[in-house]
Amino acid sequence: MSALPSSIHSTSALPKVAWAKGSYLTDVSGKQYIDGSGGPAVYCIGHANTEVNDAIKAQLDRIAHGYRYNFTTDALEELTDIIRKLCGGTLNCMIYVTGGSEAVESCLKLALQYHAARGEMSRRRFIARNRSWHGNTLGALSVSGFLERTRAFEGSLLDVSRLSPANDYRPIGSPNGEACAQELEDEILRLGADKVAAFIFEPVVGAAGGCVPAPAGYAKLIRDICTKYDVLMIADEVMCGAGRCGTWRALEADGVEPDIMSVAKGLAGGYMPLGVAIYNDRVAEPIMRVHGAPMTGHTFTGHTASCAAGVAVQKIVIRENLLAKVRANEPRLRSMIAEALTGVEAVGDIRGRGHFIATELVADSKTKKPFDASHKLFMHIRQRALENGLICYPVGGNVDGVNGDVVILAPPYNSTDAELTEMVDKMAMSIKQVLAAKGLG
């Protein structure tokens, strides 16, 4: 999901960016940085792509924004057709917004409206997981299990049931996710199935866990449980979707289709603000029959220039077969990171999918004990990486909300082999330097 301002995680003043091209950014002093994380896993085809910029300019010359509730537009209709084909199955309906938090908020509202349209007003509760991050609106914050980012808002958030994370490196019970799936069914039964609207989860957990894929079989188990109790399954793919994991839908790799899903970051690649809540025909039918339309949307829903940017980005992803490239690069990225960090005792786990790979650092690799939060390792690694000319995405608190350090790499899909090598080498160097400086490596 959308990251909090970088200053919160920084140990010193931020540099001021001047311009960018491809995988590189340059600040006002002339210092160059390679973008190893696509910012917060956003810039999926790099910066300043001429084709995308030209598409946006051409749209602006015609009309910047045709208000969605007065007009439809070519850009909106073309992007909708593209997304339908990329999603496959029955995920045919969309609400466009300006980012991931709004997309998640729309997903939650769609779930509530679906049950209302069916006359089941008792279904108001959401179930989510700890070590998850869904966004900055109050609804998205409510379903997030990320203490650092939610603590200041406690008392004004929805009452949400929270389950254990599903993490092969730190398993709860059996490693295949059966115990975590059973938690979901147990909680539905505890609350009463007639009280539960939806279960929301990240198929590959981003900032809150550090590129944590669900254990094999987990997604199918929770799909079956949700179907059994008529609880909607919401997949938050804001960070892991739109091709970041090597399939356009991250859950495609798990053989599962959700009822509702959120997509944002890689949709327009950061060229314009854009997100989307996608929902299937089953959810759409009662909403359209009873209410005539989804009761969520914003002034800039379906913003025309943003949709034009999304069309241009997705056409490039399709034409250049970038998802296949991302899938092929996954084992290479893992092995490159492992080799670059050979001999570093603090390396606990290297995980993820596609161009969404994280390295978890631990104080004891045998017990998996994390470093104490007082070391602020992730913050110092972020700063050292910037000094070394690398943008990466270190995050803290991935173990228990307070302790834990991971470093995420989420390169542009079209990064060259040389660029991937530079990203990995600079990340490894930064990690080693910080551990040595703190006497931890």
Give 276: exposed, middle or buried? Use CB within 10 Å, 0-12, 13-18, 19+: buried
* Closest to 264 measured CA to CA, from 369, 440, 137, 121: 137
Q: How confident is the model at residue 2 (pLDDT cuts 50, 70, 90)?
A: very low
Query: Would you call 381 helix, strand, or coil by DSSP?
Result: helix
Indicate whether 147 pLDDT > 90. Answer: no
The pair of structure tokens assigned to 237 is 């793919």
b/e sequence 240-264, b meaning 16+ C-beta within 10 Å: bbbbbbbbbbbbbbbebbbbbbbbb
Determine the topology of domain 51-319 in CATH. Answer: Aspartate Aminotransferase; domain 2 (3.40.640)
Q: If you compute the radius of gyration of the chain from its CA atoms, what whole number of angstroms results?
A: 21
pLDDT of 12 reads 62
Q: Which residue has the higher pLDDT, 7 or 164?
A: 164
Helices (H), 237-367: 281-286, 304-319, 322-340
- The C-alpha atoms of residue 304 and residue 377 are separated, in whole angstroms, by 42
Residue-wise pLDDT for 293-307, tens only, equals: 999 989 999 999 999
pLDDT of 177 reads 84
- The C-alpha atoms of residue 411 and residue 348 are separated, in whole angstroms, by 22
Q: How confident is the model at residue 374 (pLDDT cuts 50, 70, 90)?
A: very high
Cross-strand partners of 279: 93, 260
DSSP character for 291?
I
Residue-wise pLDDT for 201-211, tens only, equals: 999 999 999 99
Residue-wise pLDDT for 327-351, tens only, equals: 999 999 999 999 999 999 999 999 9
Cα dihedral 85→89→94→100 (10° resolution): -90
pTM over 0.85: yes
**For the chain, what are the domain ranges?**
6-48+321-437, 51-319
* Closest to 274 measured CA to CA, from 252, 251, 247, 241: 241
Q: Look at strands 125-129 and 161-163 and give their pairing.
A: parallel
> What integer is the mean pLDDT of 371-385?
96
Q: How many degrees, rounded to 5, is the angle at CA 404 between CA 399 and CA 406?
A: 105
Nearby residues of 152 by Cβ (< 8 Å), 6 or more positions away: none
Indicate whether 9 pLDDT > 60. Answer: no
Query: Would you call 346 helix, strand, or coil by DSSP?
Result: coil
Residue-wise pLDDT for 259-311, tens only, equals: 999 999 999 999 999 999 999 999 999 999 999 999 998 999 999 999 999 99
Q: How many degrees, rounded to 5, is the angle at CA 101 between CA 100 and CA 104?
A: 85
pLDDT of 4 reads 38
CA distance readout (Å), 208 to 204, 239, 329, 336, 398: 10, 11, 24, 24, 6
pLDDT of 176 reads 67
Indicate whether 6 pLDDT > 70. Answer: no
CATH class of domain segment(s) 6-48+321-437: alpha beta
Is residue 134 a contact partner of residue 298, using CB atoms and an 8 Å limit? no
CA distance readout (Å), 69 to 80, 85, 272, 283, 296: 16, 25, 20, 21, 12
Residue-wise pLDDT for 76-89, tens only, equals: 999 999 999 999 99
Indicate whether 397 pLDDT > 80. Answer: yes
Q: Which amino acid is at 94?
A: M
Indicate whether 1 pLDDT > 80. Answer: no
Can you give the length of the chain in residues?
441
- With a pLDDT cut of 70, the percent of the chain lying above it is 96
Q: How confident is the model at residue 250 (pLDDT cuts 50, 70, 90)?
A: very high
pLDDT of 174 reads 58
